[in-house]
Amino acid sequence: MNKRVKKQHYISRTYLQEFSTPSKSKDLLWVRDNRGRWRPSRPENEGFENDFQSLIDENGNKSDELESYFASYEGEFKMMLRQIEKTQRVPQGPEQLGTLLSIMGLFAIRVPTVRENFKRFATAGMKKTMGLILQDEHTYKAHMKKVCDPGEEPVPYQQMLAFHQSDAFTLKHNPMWVLETILKNAATVTDLLHLRNWMVVEAPAPLLITSSKPVNPFWTISLPPHEQGKGPLFYPESLANTHPTIVPLYSHYNEVSGRFPVVLPGFGIPTSMVVFPLTPSLALIGSWSPLPLYAKIDYCTAQAINWVTANSGADYVYSPQKLFSIPWNSNLAPYLQDYHNQLGSRLIAFKP
């Protein structure tokens, strides 16, 4: 009988190996947590949780079938990275490009940060629903009459109201619902990634880092000066009634300058690009605008990509080396915006 794989990766070991330093014994990967503390590690010991994507049947039995399925893409992903290095372009065949974008969709959504966003949003929705049911005794009794079995006595209204108002309870979510929601949204993000144009950019040196949430959208424009520092132009929660599963995809991020909205754009927002570091030297940029297949970027643009990677809600940053001085910050973000906008204005031909 095969031993079940309990240690399940949401960021593949193959990918993290690209950002580690090879050695005779084990590859060395430096990890920075969200409190700024560095520690040495290895690719196989990062980007995983026990039973992260285990399938659980009605009897509580766990299966690692999904983990085994996704693990089969590791070798193909590594070959694609080598091909991109060699050709300096994304795969042109529909099958290979589809595989790459599917992996990116998983890296964007199938991560603990987004999973917890889904759970928080679902919890808030359930508590709000409870509040509506408990708004008065008549509404509560009418609802309980619908859901209780014949002859079953519901909890008295005042007792249930006090319980709800105490907020001294924890709501647990069906792990299969959480997993299904994540994978459905990863598929939606993958579809949106297919609609973008993609280019490979090369840093002037092995400068790029990655994170536990390595595929991220970013704004192509800053807030106008009169709106900077005033808070968000919209709250993602305002979409709850029309797009309930989309709201958790809007991640808050570490932006202190006030230059940008306090949430990342969604993957379908027109005024956005997507950045994905492939190796310490290469990254992908995705845009709605036409793009060249390959270009070199300067130091500041590379560090702007690092800023997006490090500050987009990731729990951990991964690097081949411990960085005593952190060069990325929000002041570099305009370099990435300007670079993207220059590409677009240079390549799009406007017809009268």
Mean pLDDT by 10 residues, the chain (352 residues): 75 93 85 92 91 81 81 84 95 91 93 84 86 92 90 90 91 88 91 95 95 91 60 48 45 57 79 94 94 92 92 91 85 86 58 34
Cβ neighbours around 221 below 10 Å, total: 11
User: Could you tell me how many residues make up the chain?
Assistant: 352
Nearest to residue 79, comparing CAs of 285, 295, 293, 278? 278
3 state SS of 2: coil
Angle at 44 between CA 87 and CA 41, to 5 degrees: 105
Task: 336-342: list long-range contacts, CB under 8 Å, 24+ apart.
Answer: 336/218, 336/273, 336/275, 336/301, 336/304, 336/305, 336/307, 336/308, 337/219, 337/220, 337/221, 337/222, 339/297, 339/301, 339/304, 340/220, 340/273, 340/285, 340/287, 340/289, 341/220, 341/221
CB neighbours of 337 closer than 8 A, spacing ≥ 6? 219, 220, 221, 222
pLDDT of residue 228: 58
Nearest to residue 222, comparing CAs of 184, 265, 177, 278? 265
Task: For the chain, give percent helix, strand, coil, nearest 5.
Answer: 40, 15, 45
pLDDT of residue 274: 95
Is-contact 8 54, C-beta < 8 A? yes
For the question of whether the overall pTM of this predicted structure is more than 0.75, the answer is yes
15-52 per-residue burial string, b: 16 or more CB within 10 A, e: under 16: bbbbbbeeeeeebbbbbbeeeeeeeebbbbebbbeebb
Q: How far apart are CA 309 and CA 275, in angstroms?
A: 8
pLDDT of residue 254: 53
Q: How far apart are CA 303 and CA 275, in angstroms?
A: 12
**What backbone torsions phi and psi does residue 280 show, to the nearest 5 degrees?**
-60, -15
